[in-house]
Chains A and B, each alone.
Chain A
């Protein structure tokens, strides 16, 4: 016992000496973000904050998203697709170990995929796995996935945080002690404050350059500003107050990265609630909205106008903003045609982010100008999820949909905006089955156009993703192609 103490003391002295020896480059980082994960299992919750901490850092999937949103090999080093497009044979990397020291094999892949698609699965994105017919273990490093129909986006689906590979031995405690295969190991979670990760010395791929990473959770925008200014945190991903960015830009201590996100910020409309079930009413709302005023007023200029539920940086994007150009006169005319010449009153329920709260005030003023009165109520996230997302008790709300390629939600009539159009559902079915890139592109364009012309929601802008970081930090993702803060390639410049 005594010897052990001395021994460990000696090691820490040596470690200290080593760290002094290379003190020229900092090897730890404190990254702040706004939302804290409710727990640490990315495969059983919709909360994006879980992936923001763990994706790629702790957990990896068969494929993974690159910083530009491309789908790259992850735990699978290669794959073969059968000519009929139904069978994917993944060849796994050899020598991959979970953080508890056990090997990652084809059995773990089978376990993870079967668990995610099981009937009692708590996975938030079960649709990703719906097309899987069977998962077979060919040998310890080969796994064969058979689909019931060809699916052009299968490799994309497998890159999601909800599709990461987990081990059966450690699944019971995953919510508090996540064990993955990534370049960082989970070390500590102080609830309400921070999560610590440390470097995985036995990582199978390129090891992380940082020894230690701390994620801090600061929800209040004012506190976020103070923490960055005082350099209590080295980086803030998804900085919540766009009005402060010019100050950081002017300060040589900091770098400001304003990247793209998959966040379509929309005025979600309850398509089943009168009078919003009337196409002309929704069209009138769309024409009453001045997007540029919202981007300037709520986001201080950060954001790209959108005319449909699709990210502008995607190659298949069609600019449909013309369908809902700002035209209050037309809006009044449409309201009159719909029988609401004197306007009407509806509810506008706003979640906490500033794009929603400020955007809501601006939209309320713009709608008032054409005769539509809105009763604003500000909700906390939990209330919003309960009343709006689950309860569908709302007229209008503003929210950013940050999942990548999520136009499929319009094919779900039970989704909270309750858009029920069989033509769109058919279109989306065709899209899922199609694997020819050109035909897919064409179908995606049709889909964007259809929801834009149906004025399902008010399409406002693509959320910008601002990261404020110490000027010496390199390797941070600029864009947010998925919810992730990939620190595996991050380092401090001398």
Chain B
């Protein structure tokens, strides 16, 4: 437990992350107001007791929209990071196991290829070809997470392959696949968790960016990015329309980054040693 206290960023990061994850979970069973029902007569109301964050241009409750939007953002980012890990980690392990070989070259050059494109550009291309939807946004963001995890895994695994205990395992007759799974993976897991948190926050930003330009989740699914885009022309007289979704994106990303930093402080053996 004391190790949690070593990191100053972990606790605030966790609080923010739990707050938004909690809001998203609660929205599955309950929201203050149904966000698919419009109430034009009550549009653009300032924050009040009935609507703590006010109402938007269609009279929807902004708090409810933020909660449902949290669900959209988190779902998109989570699945996208999942795609990146599930595809990227085995690729990285395989490349490290066959280091210097043809397979390694092939995997890493393919990664470089994907990495060479600005991620949003490809995301725009994917949504332009297959149509704008939350699913295509997930795929687009997910593809970009693959090389991130593949590189990280390979880099970390390479240094492990020269360790004595791996030598021992090889001498004991274990194959590359088994060593990768039983010895390499558990030892790179720390890094992956930290990177996962960072990618998660980038995923939320990417989803908001795609929705902002109209290529993410389509109405009536609430999305923070689209809330920002829709409120653009009204900022001058109804700033709360942009303020709350903007804050939601800011705080979620901040929370995840703090959490990622905190986890690294705790999990990274080098940093841990430096502290003690």
Contacts and interface: CB of A to CB of B under 8 A. Distances in A.
B142 to A, nearest CB: 22
B38 interface: yes
A246 B238 CA distance: 13
A244 B232 CA distance: 11
A293 interface: yes
Interface stretch (B7-15, B166-174, B212-220): B212-220
Interface string A357-369: 0101110111011
Contacts of A366: 38
Contact of A243 (B37, B38, B220, B234): B234
B131 A241 contact: no
Interface string B39-53: 011010000000000
Interface string A380-410: 0000000000000000000000000000000
Contact of B236 (A247, A358, A377, A378): A247
A362 B38 contact: yes
B57 interface: yes
Given A243-B57, A243-B233, A362 B219 contact: no
A353 interface: no
Contacts of A375: 218
B132 interface: yes
A85 interface: no
A259 interface: no
A297 interface: yes
A121 interface: no
Contacts of A293: 38, 40
A148 B131 CA distance: 49
B193 to A, nearest CB: 37
Contacts of B187: none
A19 interface: no
A362 to B, nearest CB: 6
Contacts of A221: 232-233
A376 B219 contact: yes
A365 B43 contact: no
B30 interface: no
Contacts of B57: 243, 297, 358
A187 interface: no
Contact of A376 (B58, B218, B232): B218
Could you tell me the dominant secondary structure of chain B's interface residues?
Answer: loop
B179 to A, nearest CB: 49
A244 B132 contact: no
Interface in B220-267: 220, 232-234, 236-237
Contacts of A360: 219
Contacts of A365: 36-38, 58, 220
A491 interface: no
B38 A377 contact: no
Given A296-B43, A377-B132, A222 B232 contact: yes
B218 A244 contact: no
A377 B218 contact: yes
Contact of A377 (B58, B131, B232): B131
Nearest to B35: A365
Contacts of B43: 296-297
Contacts of B214: 378
B219 A361 contact: yes
A225 interface: yes
Contacts of B234: 243
A376 B40 CA distance: 20
A222 B38 contact: no
Interface string B52-74: 00000111000000000000000
Interface in A38-76: none
Q: Specify which of B43, B232, B233, B236 lies most central, judged by the most chain A CB atoms within 10 Å of its CB.
A: B233
Q: Specify which of A221, A366, A376 lies most central, judged by the most chain B CB atoms within 10 Å of its CB.
A: A376
Given A222-B232, A243-B57, A362 B40 contact: yes
B237 A247 contact: yes
Given A297-B58, A378-B132, A241 B233 contact: yes
B256 to A, nearest CB: 29
B220 A361 contact: yes
A364 B220 contact: yes
Nearest to B133: A377
A297 B218 contact: no
A358 B40 CA distance: 12
B212 to A, nearest CB: 12
Contacts of B237: 243-244, 246-247
B58 A244 contact: no
A362 B58 contact: yes
Nearest to B234: A243
A225 B237 CA distance: 12
A244 B38 contact: no
Q: Specify which of B36, B38, B237 lies most central, judged by the most chain A CB atoms within 10 Å of its CB.
A: B38
Nearest to B43: A297
A225 B231 CA distance: 13
B88 to A, nearest CB: 31
Contacts of B132: 377-378
B40 A296 contact: yes
A368 B221 CA distance: 13
B233 A368 contact: no
Contacts of A369: 37
B131 to A, nearest CB: 7
A244 B58 CA distance: 16
Contacts of B40: 293, 296-297, 362
7 contacts: A244-B237, A293-B38, A297-B59, A361-B220, A364-B219, A375-B218, A377-B218
Given A241-B233, A296-B40, A364-B220, 4 more contacts: A247-B237, A296-B41, A358-B57, A377-B131
Interface of B: 36-38, 40-41, 43, 57-59, 131-132, 214, 218-220, 232-234, 236-237
Counting from the closest, the 9 A-B pairs by CB-CB distance are A297-B40, A241-B233, A293-B40, A365-B38, A222-B232, A221-B233, A361-B219, A296-B40, A378-B214
